[in-house]
Structure 1
Amino acid sequence: MPMTRARSWILPALAAALAACHDSSTGPRTLGVPASVTAAGTSANTIRVSWSRASSATGYTVQRAGAGSDFVDVGTTSGTSFDDDGLEPSSSYRYRVAATRSGSTGAWSSEAQGTTLGFGRGTARLSGDITSSRTLTADTLYVLHGPVRVRNGAVLRIGPGTKLVGDTSVVGSSLLIDRGAKIRAEGTAANPIVFTSQRAPGRRRPGDWGGVSIVGNARINLQVQNLQTEGPPGGTVDYAGGTNDDDDSGVLRFVRIEFAGQRIEGSLKMNSLSLYAVGRGTTIEYVETLAGLDDGIKWFGGAVNARFLVVYEAQDDAFDVSQGYSGHNQYVVGVTSTVLDGHDGTGSDDRNFLESDGCEAGVTGCPANFDAAPYSMPLFANFVAMGPWSWDVDRYGGNGILIRRGSGVTLVNGVVARWPKTALTIRDDFTETMRQRDSVTIANVFMTQNGANFDPGGSFFGQREKFASASIEESTLDAASLFVRYEPSTGNLDWGPAGGSPIATGGMNPFTGRIAARAGSYIVPTSFRGAAGNGGTQWWRGWTSYARN
């Protein structure tokens, strides 16, 4: 009898314990396989993958494969659908899904194929403030109608191949990313993101619309409050008071900005790309500006780094530095070969490849002697600065590198050619003081076909003897012969060195001294001067464009 009672109690308990081993909340279970997997394009840059729920799953992993490539993880979710974005327009991808639970992954589903939508299926107007995150895709043409401002906390995502045009009928049509907001404009070499004029090719002019501005939270050297960005009434913001040089304003990658720089009033014009107090947490690479009426790219303080930059035919400076900018830039090309009139007049009377100021005379907060810290200390490596060769210098200016108003600079492994005034000029007493402090450093630069390579004696300070140990090579070679192809009138430009070109060698590699100390890890030493070496990557191919109208 006791044996029977014990057995009658033990057997049910054992059965319960065994069942508990398979309880859905605590024990292992065989994961089901997601079924009915589908993939469908929802925009030019997005595919939605959907499936039916798998048994015992608490989550799912989604993998994608492009044409001829292996599967890679693209995301996880607890639901039964996943939006895969940032894709190429009109492109097909394969997907598969696996169930997950407690660190375990089940078998992969059968594959599903989806194709993104094509370009330009509709038109949408952007105007006023964007206060919540938004995604723009290549199936829609976007019109910037007046000043468009992305407000603090919002993220503007722009997919590959997306085109945005400035409304030429509204003064100040432009895009401004506010402090605390982000832009994630991530194109590809095959499908860059393009900001351009609303006018048709052949009718476009510099200054057709405003441009793109980003405001970050890094430092500037003007100790003032309420310092407004350049732009139309109602389209400006305060960019003073930043404290974080590592601030992140997002991503610009494979982006073109064309025919911008609109005149707002009088002499006030917008730049194609304005970077106000932008921090080095921001990613800027593969960016071109084309035929802007004012500066191509201008930095107002900040510390953002950049690589693979192109400015063609800016009607003021190709690159302009001010207010304490201290970022590093590598693989940089600027071409100023002709005068292009805008619909309401011409550009500047002082056009340069690089104009670097500590702070601007007459701006509130800029000392009369320009001694404003943090000092402008930009670094440019592997640059090509191509000027117009000859034009009316009294009307249009024409210096390669102009350093003034208390700016330092570091220039290495570059080419300065065809500037009708001077390749290098240093303009004032305090900038000369910066040079004496070893804050104006130039090394391994090739100069040819300039009106003069250095300042003559007199009121300026960039004389040759001050850079006697800088490994600057002076030549009289035709600058076009340095490159595989240099024909701006036809748009045929290849920045690789021609056979036997002297710029294929002569670069500083490794970096030494002041150059090594300032370059850090972002700038890479090269044995060539200019934007590319023999057999190197033609990084400008596919996504850049050259046009004059």
Structure 2
Amino acid sequence: MNILKNRMYFLLLMMGLFVGLASCDNDDEPTPPAEVLSVKSLTPSNGPVGTKVVITGTKFDPTPANNTVLFNTTPAVVTAATATTLEVTVPAGATTGLVSVTVAGTTAKSTGNFDIAARAVVEKMGTIAASETWTKNNIYLLKGFVTVASGATLTIEAGTIIKGGAPALDPAGSAKGGTLIIGAGAKIMAVGTVTEPIVFTSNAAVGARKYGDWGGVVIIGKAPHNRLVSQGFEGGISGQLGGDAIAADNSGTLQYVRIEFPGIALSQGSEINGLTLYSVGSGTIMDHIQVSYGGDDSFEWFGGTVNSKYLVAFRGFDDDFDTDWGFIGKVQYALSLRDPLFADQSGSNGFESDNFNGTGEPATGPNNGLPLTAPVFANVSNFVFSGTPSSAIASGSGSYQSAMHLRRNTDITILNSLFVGYPEGLRLDGANTLAHATAGTLDLKGIVLANVTTPLRGDRAATGVTDAQATAYFNAATRKNVVTDIPTLMLNAANFNLAAPAFLPLAASPLLKDAVWEGKGADAFFTKELFRGAFGTTDWTTGWTNFDPQNTPYN
């Protein structure tokens, strides 16, 4: 009997162990935490009373009346609801502040303010197929790529604000930052004034804006270039360059325009610049344009013949002035003021000039490389380090390299210009580039290099350019180029002040004389100034520029 009892006890024990092990199956998933009420985003994040706003979050009540929404302390009516979205209208009496949602006694608040604006927000997306006008009584929000189609003209009134939406607002779901693209055969008429510039800027709130918040402004024309007609565009923009080769092509007018926090990186090596110009023709008018906090190049010309005056590159990330693909236009009066802490992984330059843009190509490339990249720049001032120049990586992803990196068969001319505070002054790169310099088709005259660690160098390759060759070219007496230091220049004490710069040199500065206008500088486009650098006795940045866009309310 005892044996039977023992066997029964053993069987019961084994059954208990089996049940216990089964209940501890390693394949069981842990119970997910309960979802809680939250407010994740507000779209748009600013606007006047009456603006329709979509609040996204979690644990909302699908019955509209069961959700209580306050704009700061003012209640709003919920007109539509799901578990993750609420649609409301900004109520009368609302003031700038957080938006709160209360459901069943629990309250969640937005992470940022909703800004009550004086202007309505008009969303723009997709293709603009017919001519239209954007007016200063509205704020325009670019969502994804916004393209003005051939035959259409986009007119923008002076004083109008256009905001670039973040990638999350792309209606196509492709995570492309808001970008304005003026297609070949289309026009933009953006004519601001000194007191009412047109502003393209970030959609982020004051204090939260950053490099590459949105795409930028892209203009595509029909002027000559040196690529295949099937050449595509950077940054994921659809279409091809084409082969119209209309030198005087007219893409419209940009005057007194600011472009702030552009230059989104869609992938490595595929970015959109602050202002990107593809084959833009000389019939286009461009002057008084400032690009600030660009996430890639501030200005880049891919072919074309367009001429410009009064350009400002402020605190850009990569190059200030990049010329490629046979650009042959002219530019006078250009300024760059850099933040010493931010540079790009590619090595940031004042000028980067190529006959083509890419690797693995012959020196000439398609179309025998013609026309050669041969722009003429005059009266440029470019400032980086007021102290010892550094090539170390600071807060950005890379370091500073050269004031002028000239390579790949370029034929650029730079006259009467000032470069201060670069690790390198001139990098003359490539035997073919040196050949152009020696022949005089690449021309540097009236150049002042100051506070530069290595003023002159070649590419140092066995078949390229030696430092001695670059030095002999630059220092030829007929070129009237100078290597000096900052004290000798007698700059304004606030010249490097990033928040409130002042650029006019002192009255006794040597920069106010000795300009050289020989060769290509004799062109009638250029005003034959006596000074070198961008400034004589007049500060042409006054009134229309902004050196503190991070803290400017755009409502």
> Which consecutive residues of structure 1, in runs of 5 or more, have no partner in the other structure?
1-118, 341-345
In structure 2, the CA distance between the partners of 1:443 and 1:392, relative to structure 1 (3 Å rule), is closer
Corresponding residue number in structure 2 for 1:299: 301
In structure 2, the CA distance between the partners of 1:184 and 1:332, relative to structure 1 (3 Å rule), is same
CA distance in 2 between counterparts of 1:205 and 1:404 reads: 31
Which amino acid is 1:504 matched to? L
Check if 1:332 corresponds to 2:331: no
- Tell me the CA shift for residue 338 of structure 1: 2.7
Deviations 1:322-380 (A, max 9, x none): 0000110000001223334xxxxx74331001100001233779746996110000111
Count of aligned pairs:
414
CA distance in 2 between counterparts of 1:410 and 1:401 reads: 11
Which amino acid is 1:543 matched to? W
Corresponding residue number in structure 1 for 2:90: none
- Tell me the CA shift for residue 209 of structure 1: 0.3
In structure 2, the CA distance between the partners of 1:456 and 1:213, relative to structure 1 (3 Å rule), is closer
Deviations 1:40-64 (A, max 9, x none): xxxxxxxxxxxxxxxxxxxxxxxxx
Corresponding residue number in structure 1 for 2:506: 498
Corresponding residue number in structure 1 for 2:532: 529
> Which consecutive residues of structure 2, in runs of 5 or more, have no partner in the other structure?
1-116, 171-175, 551-555
Corresponding residue number in structure 2 for 1:129: 127
Check if 1:206 corresponds to 2:211: yes
Please say if residues 209 and 261 of structure 2, whose CA atoms lie closer than 8 Å, have aligned partners that are also in contact: yes
Structure 2 counterparts to residues 374-393 of structure 1, below 5 A: 374-388=371-385, 389-393=388-392
SS in 1 for 2:336: strand
Structure 2 counterparts to residues 302-321 of structure 1, below 5 A: 302-321=304-323
Corresponding residue number in structure 1 for 2:405: 402
CA distance in 1 between counterparts of 2:263 and 2:451 reads: 29
SS in 1 for 2:473: helix
In structure 2, the CA distance between the partners of 1:382 and 1:142, relative to structure 1 (3 Å rule), is same
SS in 1 for 2:189: strand
- Tell me the CA shift for residue 548 of structure 1: 7.3
Corresponding residue number in structure 1 for 2:165: 167
Which amino acid is 2:307 matched to? N
In structure 2, the CA distance between the partners of 1:359 and 1:479, relative to structure 1 (3 Å rule), is farther
Please say if residues 448 and 478 of structure 1, whose CA atoms lie closer than 8 Å, have aligned partners that are also in contact: no
In structure 2, the CA distance between the partners of 1:366 and 1:458, relative to structure 1 (3 Å rule), is closer
Please say if residues 353 and 405 of structure 2, whose CA atoms lie closer than 8 Å, have aligned partners that are also in contact: yes
CA distance in 2 between counterparts of 1:419 and 1:409 reads: 20
SS in 1 for 2:435: helix
Corresponding residue number in structure 2 for 1:225: 229
In structure 2, the CA distance between the partners of 1:138 and 1:396, relative to structure 1 (3 Å rule), is same
Deviations 1:499-537 (A, max 9, x none): 3211111212xx33x234xx4211111111111213x3x
Structure 2 counterparts to residues 339-418 of structure 1, below 5 A: 339-340=341-342, 347-362=344-359, 367=364, 372-388=369-385, 389-393=388-392, 395-418=398-421
Please say if residues 483 and 496 of structure 1, whose CA atoms lie closer than 8 Å, have aligned partners that are also in contact: yes
Deviations 1:58-83 (A, max 9, x none): xxxxxxxxxxxxxxxxxxxxxxxxxx
Please say if residues 294 and 316 of structure 2, whose CA atoms lie closer than 8 Å, have aligned partners that are also in contact: yes
TM (normalized to structure 1)?
Answer: 0.72
Deviations 1:225-255 (A, max 9, x none): 32222233xx422123131111000000000
CA distance in 1 between counterparts of 2:317 and 2:310 reads: 21
CA distance in 2 between counterparts of 1:246 and 1:277 reads: 11
Corresponding residue number in structure 2 for 1:95: none
Which amino acid is 1:392 matched to? S
Corresponding residue number in structure 1 for 2:470: 463
Structure 2 counterparts to residues 27-38 of structure 1, below 5 A: none
SS in 1 for 2:417: strand
Please say if residues 226 and 366 of structure 2, whose CA atoms lie closer than 8 Å, have aligned partners that are also in contact: no
- Tell me the CA shift for residue 385 of structure 1: 1.4
In structure 2, the CA distance between the partners of 1:418 and 1:548, relative to structure 1 (3 Å rule), is farther
In structure 2, the CA distance between the partners of 1:243 and 1:368, relative to structure 1 (3 Å rule), is closer
CA distance in 2 between counterparts of 1:239 and 1:358 reads: 16
Deviations 1:432-467 (A, max 9, x none): 121122111111121110112211694335622113
| Percent identity for Structure 1 against Structure 2 | 29
After superposition, the CA RMSD in angstroms is 2.2
Please say if residues 351 and 396 of structure 1, whose CA atoms lie closer than 8 Å, have aligned partners that are also in contact: yes
Structure 2 counterparts to residues 9-48 of structure 1, below 5 A: none
TM (normalized to structure 2)?
Answer: 0.71
Please say if residues 260 and 549 of structure 2, whose CA atoms lie closer than 8 Å, have aligned partners that are also in contact: no
Q: Given the alignment, which residue of 180, 190, 197 partners 1:192? A: 197
Please say if residues 326 and 371 of structure 2, whose CA atoms lie closer than 8 Å, have aligned partners that are also in contact: yes
In structure 2, the CA distance between the partners of 1:363 and 1:540, relative to structure 1 (3 Å rule), is farther
In structure 2, the CA distance between the partners of 1:457 and 1:191, relative to structure 1 (3 Å rule), is closer
Corresponding residue number in structure 2 for 1:452: 454
Check if 1:278 corresponds to 2:280: yes
Pick which of 307-316 and 346-355 moved more.
Answer: 346-355
